[in-house]
Amino acid sequence: MWKVDLHAHTIYSGDCLTRPEDAIAQARRIGLDKLAITEHNNLAGALKAKELAPDLIIVGEEIKTTHGELIAYFVQEEVPRGLSPQETIGRLREQGAVIAIPHPLDSLRRSAMGLANALEIIDQVDALEVRNARCVRPQDNLAALALAQEHALLSTAGSDAHIPFELGRCYMEMPAFEDDAESFIDALQQARPMGKESPFWPHLMSTWAKWRKRIRPIAYSF
């Protein structure tokens, strides 16, 4: 069985300072078989990481809609922020991406979709993220798992890493799959969410990353 982290960020997200090469090195160090790079509202980091480690990286995107965030895998074309959930899903479907709702019921995160908004589109997505290592309250992950089971949806799990330490904190244990959406979906049918929530302090590193980039922009090949 493979160990697959389905939610991680690099310096191409506004609240992260981790360079793609450092995320890749840490992923290999801890034995990840696949790592989804899911930058906020862009594909640049995922494409850069894929170029550096094509065997490891899944190209994804975490997209801020008008009513919370969606996350997608095997994305071919970047989807901009600020669209409705329905329009975002439509654009992702056109390119054959796998679509999930990240941290759907996180009660402390403003970007979380929340129950009412999630229920509006729950029959239009493939999966719910039921174990996110940055959910401060474990009961929010448990509630997401219950919601996925109630609606017979697939589950995903990821570290939501913004620093290398967080990688692999939550992950999927799943059969090997080819580098395409169809094979990935098939493997998710037999997958299990694993891992545990991160401590709180990595959240402070994200706040620092935002301020660091405002105070002194970082030169990097975007």
Q: Report which secondary-structure segment, H or E, holds 127.
A: strand 127-132
Query: pLDDT digits over 139-148, tens only?
Result: 999 999 999 9
Number of domains in the chain: 1
CB under 8 Å to 18, separation ≥6 — which residues? 9, 10, 11, 161, 162, 163, 164
CATH number for the domain spanning 132: value is 3.20.20.140
Angstrom distance (rounded) from CA 65 to CA 57: 24
State percent of the chain over pLDDT 90: 87
143 occurs within a structural domain: yes
Strands 127-132 and 68-73: unpaired
Model pLDDT, residue 219: 62
pLDDT tens profile 30-75: 999 999 999 999 999 999 999 999 999 999 999 999 999 999 999 9
Q: Is the residue at 206 inside a domain?
A: yes
The parts of the chain modelled with pLDDT lower than 70 are: 219-222
Q: What is the pLDDT of residue 221?
A: 55
CB 97 within 8 A of CB 125: no
Residue-level pLDDT at 222: 47
Q: What letter represents residue 168's amino acid?
A: G
Structural domain including 127 reads 2-215
DSSP 165: G
Domain-embedded: residue 23? yes
d(CA 55, CA 151): 33
The reply to whether 222 falls in a domain is no
- Put simply, whether the predicted model's pTM sits higher than 0.85 gets the answer yes
* Cross-strand partners of 124: none
Domain assignment present for 44: yes
Per the domain annotation, does 221 fall within a domain?
Answer: no
Q: Tokens 């654009």: give the residue.
A: 91
The single-letter DSSP state of residue 112 is: -
The reply to whether 26 falls in a domain is yes
With b for 16 or more beta-carbon neighbours within 10 A and e for fewer, the 51-71 pattern comes to: eebeebbbbbbbbbbebbbbb
What pLDDT sits at residue 201?
Answer: 76
3-state secondary structure (DSSP) of residue 188 = helix
Instruction: Decide the pairing of beta strands 34-40 and 57-65.
Output: parallel
Residue 161 DSSP symbol: B
**Residue 103 within any structural domain of the chain:** yes
